[in-house]
Amino acid sequence: MMKTRKKSGFSLLELMIAGVVLALGLLTSITVTLNAAALERTNTDRDTAKDAAKLQMQGLKGRGLVTLLEWIDGTQTPPAGWTADGTTVQGPFEVYGLKEQTGDTDGCGWVQITKRAGAVNDNLLDLTVRVEWETNGRDMAYELNSMKSDRGKRWETSQ
């Protein structure tokens, strides 16, 4: 009687199953890493946009109301590239580090200052700062809105 020897090692089927499991694990790991990198880029770009918008808004709020009103009515020249029509002044600004949306050629950001109709003394302005950019093949936007007025600075008359 011949004794059969038990063969040690893995069969071809076991090796193929192990290879498929390893490949799936590797593919999942790569996918997670790529998604994390894309999310990091999106978050970095959003932070850049928020910082740029806040900086522009601070600049507008730091300017005197009279200056902004004179930009609107054309008695003072607004920044280069900006336009005014008597009730609104608007213009672009560049945001470094962000990719412009397809077809946009004047920078990622724009500012709009509008006289609010019917405001007391026409001294209430709506301020809008918007940043639009492209990240990871998607169009993104961030917008800040505020107001500026001469409230609390009314002229006092003496008798």
Reported as a single tens digit per residue, the pLDDT across 53-107 is 999 999 999 988 888 989 998 889 988 889 998 889 999 999 998 999 888 877 8
Strand partners, 155: none
Q: Rounded to an integer, what distance in angstroms lies between the CA atom of residue 44 and that of residue 67? A: 34
The total of structural domains in the chain comes to 1
Residue 66 is assigned to a structural domain of this protein: yes
Residue 27 is assigned to a structural domain of this protein: yes
Query: Does position 156 have pLDDT exceeding 60, yes or no?
Result: no
Q: Rounded to an integer, what distance in angstroms lies between the CA atom of residue 70 and that of residue 81? A: 16
Residue 157 is assigned to a structural domain of this protein: no
Residue 4 is assigned to a structural domain of this protein: no
* pTM (predicted TM-score): 0.75
Q: Rounded to an integer, what distance in angstroms lies between the CA atom of residue 149 and that of residue 120? A: 10
Q: Which two tokens stand for residue 114?
A: 């509008």
Domain of residue 35 covers 12-149
Note the pLDDT of residue 159: 41
Contacts of 85 (CB under 8 A, 6+ apart): none
Concatenated DSSP letters of 30-63? HHHHHHHHHHHHHHHHHHHHHHHHHHHHHHHHHS
Q: What is the pLDDT of residues 113-148, one digit of tens each?
A: 998 877 666 578 999 999 999 988 899 999 999 999
Query: Does position 46 have pLDDT exceeding 90, yes or no?
Result: yes
Residue 129 is assigned to a structural domain of this protein: yes
Residue 154 is assigned to a structural domain of this protein: no
Residue 90 is assigned to a structural domain of this protein: yes
Task: Residue 96: count other Cβ atoms within 10 Å of its Cβ.
Answer: 8
Note the pLDDT of residue 92: 93
Residue 131 is assigned to a structural domain of this protein: yes
Note the pLDDT of residue 5: 66
Torsion-angle region of 10 (φ positive above 0: left; ψ -120 to 50: alpha; else: beta): beta
Note the pLDDT of residue 114: 93
